Amino acid sequence: MLGNKNINDSNHLQIAGCDVVELAQTMGTPLYVYDEDLIRDNIQEYKQSFQENYPHFSLAYAGKAFLCSALCSLLDKEGWWVDVVSGGEYYLASAAGFPVERIIFHGNNKTPEERRLVLQGGVGRWVVDNEVELNFLLEEASSYTSYRVPLFFRLIPGVDPHTHQYITTGKIDSKFGLPLGEAENVILKALQSEDLEVKGLHCHIGSQIDQIDPFLKAAEIMLQFMADFRKKYDFVFQELDLGGGLGVPYLDEEKGRFPSFHFYVRAICEKVKSVCDELSYPLPHLYIEPGRSVVNTAGSTIYRVGSVKEIPGVKKYVAVDGGMADNPRPILYGAKYQARIGNRVIGKKERVSVVGKCCESGDVLIEEIELPSPSPGDILVVEATGAYNHSMASNYNLIPRPGVVFLRGGKPELVVRPENWYDLVRRDIIPGKNKEV
Ligand X SMILES: Cc1ncc(COP(=O)(O)O)c(C=O)c1O
Does residue 207 touch ligand X according to CB under 6 A? yes
Q: How far is the CB of 104 from ligand X (least distance, A)?
A: 8
- Quickly count helices (H) and strands (E) in the chain: 12, 21
Does residue 214 touch ligand X according to CB under 6 A? no
Residue 36 to residue 66: CA distance in whole angstroms: 13
Q: Which span sits near ligand X by CB under 6 A: 59-67, 130-138, 301-309, 429-437?
A: 59-67
Please classify residue 234 by burial: count the beta carbons closer than 10 Å to its beta carbon, then call 0-12 exposed, 13-18 middle and 19+ buried.
exposed
Closer residue to ligand X, CB minimum distance, 168 or 300: 168
Within 244-273, which residues bind ligand X (CB under 6 A)? 244-246
For residues 375 and 306, is the Cβ–Cβ distance under 8 A? Answer: no
DSSP string, 20-54: HHHHHHHH-SSEEEEEHHHHHHHHHHHHHHHHHH-
Closer residue to ligand X, CB minimum distance, 170 or 342: 170
Does residue 239 touch ligand X according to CB under 6 A? no
Of the residues 68, 72, 276, 359, which is catalytic?
359
For residues 259 and 212, is the Cβ–Cβ distance under 8 A? Answer: yes
Phi-psi region of 427 (alpha: psi -120 to 50; beta: other; left: phi over 0): alpha
For residues 82 and 72, is the Cβ–Cβ distance under 8 A? Answer: yes
Does residue 63 touch ligand X according to CB under 6 A? no
Does residue 292 touch ligand X according to CB under 6 A? yes
Does residue 243 touch ligand X according to CB under 6 A? yes
Calculate the alpha carbon distances from 7 to 139, 345, 351 in Å: 60, 7, 21
- Residue 410 neighbours by CB under 8 Å, 6+ apart: 16, 17, 18
Residue 215 has a CB neighbour count (10 Å cut-off) of: 26
Residue type, 125: R
Does residue 67 touch ligand X according to CB under 6 A? no
Q: Which span sits near ligand X by CB under 6 A: 36-44, 144-152, 272-280, 289-297?
A: 289-297
Q: How far is the CB of 106 from ligand X (least distance, A)?
A: 5
Does residue 204 touch ligand X according to CB under 6 A? yes
Residue 288 to residue 310: CA distance in whole angstroms: 48
- Residue 240 neighbours by CB under 8 Å, 6+ apart: 200, 201, 202, 219, 222, 223, 226, 272, 284, 285, 286, 287
DSSP string, 285-301: EEEE---HHHHTTTEEE
Does residue 289 touch ligand X according to CB under 6 A? yes
Show the site string, 293-322: x = touches ligand X by CB under 6 A, - = not: x-----------------------------
Does residue 12 touch ligand X according to CB under 6 A? no
Q: How far is the CB of 299 from ligand X (least distance, A)?
A: 13
Q: Which span sits near ligand X by CB under 6 A: 16-24, 145-153, 237-245, 371-379?
A: 237-245
Within 74-133, which residues bind ligand X (CB under 6 A)? 83, 106
The question of whether 269 is a catalytic residue gets the answer: no
Does residue 291 touch ligand X according to CB under 6 A? yes
Q: How far is the CB of 64 from ligand X (least distance, A)?
A: 6
Q: How far is the CB of 180 from ligand X (least distance, A)?
A: 17
Closer residue to ligand X, CB minimum distance, 169 or 338: 169
Known catalytic residues are 359
In the complex, which residues of this chain contact ligand X (CB under 6 A)? 62, 64-65, 83, 106, 204, 207, 243-246, 289-293
